[in-house]
Amino acid sequence: MMPIMTVNDGSEVVVVGAGPAGLTTAIALAQAGLTTTLVAREAPADHRTTALLAGSITALETLGVWNRCAGQAAPLKVMRIVDATVRLIRAPEVYFSAEEIGLDAFGYNIENKHLVAALAARARELPSLSLIKDEARAVETRDDNVTIRLKSGGAVTARLAVGADGRRSLCRAAAGIETAASRYPQIALTFNLGHTRPHNFASTEFHAEGGPFTLVPLPGLRSSLVCVVQPADARRLSALDDDALSREIERRSHSILGKITVEAGRGEFPLSIETARQFAANRIALVGEAAHLVPPIGAQGLNLGLRDAAMIGELAVAAHRGGDDVGADDLLRRYDAARRADVQSRSVAIDLMNRSLLSDFLPVQGIRGLGMFLIDRIGPLRRAVMREGVAPRTAQPRLMRGDAI
């Protein structure tokens, strides 16, 4: 084995990856006093947006982040689901209002670049957090520590590594953790757009045969779009210039936002659900897309990742204060158990909803239509669905409740 040139050998935790989940993990740990190192190269430009639900907003407020970017986010006060299929059995329109469950908003939609900038600014303020702008090239686990070898030739050794390094996670591979995947015959097209009519802070999700078409408010006369379609339709839409695509999006949105102007920065993502068979092992804990990849449906992806960050932070801080090993097997098992039900329940719900849209089987369409009808007509059921969507009862780490760790 080559000798290790140490860059930082005094950290208790090393976090690999500086997306929102990785930055949130590092901030939570360092704010509580754990010596933490964050390893990540400069993030590429990200034109995507994230709908942060109420618990995530509370956590970011507690970490001193939200006040830095709140002005660049739009509240989500209303959510509408509209059946835009032409099938024999169609579901009724369902209208969800945050006011009905005592909230000003379900959450806030923000461009990822603004969120990451706010997180990075907070990270730079914390004396317990060291930032290394480099890329991990190898991860080595031992009985009592874990080492991240850097592309520059150095290395960082700590008691615990948090893998926030995305869907092709080097940390996950080093921990020996496999994944289970379900892939769909669909592509998600994402981009932002301007429009001439106000959105009134309402998110509208049209359910079409190829998948959901979701408009989510941004500040001003702007919205973000997630358009899930089958591959042939995705190729056709991707080939359109901005003017032609704008007209097509206006048609598919039934002109509810008036004239549409597509902005630069289109994204395209094959749809899949991929979940790690364990969320932690061998002194490595996984957060965000390293642990679970879900389609951009239902505003779950990053909210799950922030709950991962809050939970591993909570467990590691408690271990540190008790004089225990922050990378011990028992802590990692507790982290895995704490996150499993939340991730699985969200993944199953997204899978069932998406497959029900793709199915031409009449009984499936009937069950979906009945479910939407009951949610629309039965107030207590509708309110229970809203509360669970915003703040799952079984997976609320302390940060999501506004409690410091």
The answer to whether the beta carbons of residues 292 and 275 sit under 8 Å apart is yes
Q: pTM of the prediction?
A: 0.91
Closest CA to 353 of 94, 63, 122: 94
Q: What is the mean pLDDT of residues 49-65?
A: 95
**Structure-token pair, residue 300:** 């779950």
Q: What domains are defined for the chain?
A: 5-72+111-181+273-357 (3.50.50.60)
The answer to whether the beta carbons of residues 107 and 400 sit under 8 Å apart is no
Neighbouring C-alpha atoms within 13 Å toward the C-beta of 361: 7
According to the model, what pLDDT value does residue 296 have? 76
pLDDT tens readout for residues 73-115: 999 999 998 988 776 667 778 899 999 999 999 999 999 999 9
Banded model confidence at residue 361, pLDDT cuts 50, 70, 90:
low
Instruction: For residue 25, give the 3-state DSSP assignment.
Output: helix
